[in-house]
Amino acid sequence: MNKYDVIQLPFPAYTIGRTCRHCDNPIADHEHASRIFCPKIILPDGSIQNCKDDYWAEIRKKESDIYKIIALYQKKVSTILGYVYELNLPEITYETLDSMGIYLNRCLYSSAEEDDMMSFFFVDFSITIHSKTNTIKIIKYDQELLKQELY
C-alpha cells in the first residue's frame, strides 16, 4: 500500500454534522470540506438526482419570475392593441386605453418627440399621443423593417 491509495472506511462518519443545503441530508466527514451539497446520484431509471442543480434552479426561478410577468403583460397588450388596431376606431381616448388594461407607464420604452408628441412603444405596436390636439394613434410595426433595424 502506497501513500496514494484511498482507504475505504466500512461506514461513513457523521461527527462534524454537515448537511446538504438543499435536502438537509447529512454529508459524510470524509467528503471534501468544501462540499455543501449531496453528490450526484444516478437512479436505476436513468434519471439524475442532483441537489446542487435543484437548489440553484429554485433561486434562479425566483429571480426570473418578474421577467415572465413582464413578458405576459406585453403579450396581452400586443393582443389588445392588435384588436383595437383592426377596429380602426376614429377616436381613441385615455379612458379607452384604461378600460382595456393598457397602461402607458408599463411600455417597453417611451420617447418625447418634437411638436409635443409622445410615443410609447410596446412589442408589436406603438401609441403616439399629440398633447396639443389630445389625439391618440396606434401604429403597427412593420416586422421586416424592424428586424433590419435591430440586426
Domain ranges for the chain: 55-150
Residues 92-120 have pLDDT tens digits of 888 888 888 899 889 888 888 777 888 89
CB atoms near residue 128 (< 10 Å): 16
Look at the pTM and tell me if it is higher than 0.85. no
What's the pLDDT at 149?
56
- And the C-alpha cell for 115? 411638436
150 pLDDT higher than 60 = no
